[in-house]
A = this chain, B = another copy of it.
Amino acid sequence: MSEKVGQHLLAQREAILDRLQSLLRLPSVSTDPAYAAGMAAAREFLMERLRALGLQDVQLLEGGGQPAIYASWTGAPGRPTIIVYGHYDVQPPDPLELWLSPPFEPAIRDGRLYARGASDVKGSTLIAVETVGAFLAVEGGCPVNVKFFLEGEEEVGSPSLPAIIEKYRDLLTADAMLSADGGRGSTTTPTVSIGCRGITALQFSLRTAAKDAHSGRVGGAVRNALHEMAKLIASMHDEQGRILVEGFLDGALDVTQDIRAESAALPFDEAAWYAALGAAPFGDPDYSVRERTTVRPTVEVNGMWGGYTGAGGKTVLPCEAHAKLTMRLVPGQDPAAAQAAVRRHLEARCPAGVALEFHYRPGGTRAFTLGPQHPLLLAAERVTEWVHGQRPVRVRAGGTVPITTLFQESLGIDSLMFGLAMPDEDAHAPNEFFRLSSLEEGLRSWPLLLTELGQLSPADFPKRG
């Protein structure tokens, strides 16, 4: 009976808010060793809370870096087993001088809780933890079996995550994953997240001569590495930004009428969006801006450099140039194949006498999508409609959430992002905040969602891999 659980949670709202503020006071910055004590304190805080709430097998999962926190409650035989994902690490607080109140001293102003990590993602993580605890306190059990997996390296690219998953594979068997990270796509319209783009990366260098030369002495008779780099990069898109890399789109999702309708369902003010970025409208005119940024792939140069870049001038004819690329992928694209297509494109256009060298990690992350009838999705839609009195819009994210693909590929399970954060809450920036209204919505939504999932049997969840 999630109703009693929800009432219990809402009655405890102030205590939970106090607890969240305590957690936010612990500076758990994963990227900087100077914050090791803050990381340890956040781990202890959460493990202590999980134990106090009656979770079992509370332990650290070690993978060589910051450990993940594990805790389980498996007292619902025959019911689905759900991994509940969150992370206890946060981004660095710099630049400190732009914060209106100190980043690790939570402050409430105008219904918003300001602190580093409030939105990303201690708020939503604690909502998930408290929800499971409330079921145990009120009902003596949870509608589903729960395995908490609270990562400590999300903000640094999850370097140990594959090793942790590999090492604790048996512990992590489950029917699905619910993530407290990621989720809401709009501040005004209720949404459910049905997927995100994948990613693959490529770095390359090109060389036109054994060493830099004097532009007066050889200029006109030796290839300039920067000119060659410019020609290669320019060859990858047409004037309207369409990708010209042969084979790159192989297998890519067709943007059907259904997908168009789905994409158009979220109210989106293109003019306001461009105005906020200070940019002019751009991109493949066959697709809307929402489509371009979610269901169409990209090839982007993230960095490009060569020659003399200091103050003043230097009459050098550079022999080396470098570029870093990332490609966002849509469902159906294979990261290795997409990467190989870009490489082939560059190799085919590289003139004789110019040496190309590629530096890349093989593969990448496939796009992730929940099927339109996936039980996680249908349950999330029902719950969101109850809570908001309005049917949510299905949205895809343009970015990449590697954990969704990693859990799918490693553990064979699908994920639903059901975090409460909103896209305007300055995650990763000064004055990060979390809406107090979101705390309340989370304490209403999560019990409902666990209850809905408890109506299902493990066989209802598609298994992959």
Contacts and interface: CB of A to CB of B under 8 A. Distances in A.
B399 A214 contact: yes
Nearest to A230: B233
Interface in A228-252: 229-237, 239, 241
Interface residues of A, number: 81
A304 B324 contact: no
B304 A229 contact: yes
A87 to B, nearest CB: 18
Interface of A: 196-197, 199, 201, 203, 208-211, 213-224, 226-227, 229-237, 239, 241, 274, 277-284, 289, 292-293, 296-298, 300-310, 313-319, 321-324, 326, 328, 351-354, 397-400
A304 B302 contact: no
Nearest to A295: B220
A358 B370 CA distance: 49
A226 B303 contact: yes
A302 B293 contact: no
Contacts of A292: 220-221
- Taken together, the copies of this chain in the complex come to 2
Contacts of A234: 227, 230-231, 233-235
B398 A216 contact: yes
Contacts of A227: 233-234, 236-237, 241, 300-301
A353 B279 contact: yes
Contacts of A315: 199, 300, 302, 326, 399-400
A220 B199 contact: no
Contact of A229 (B213, B230, B314): B230
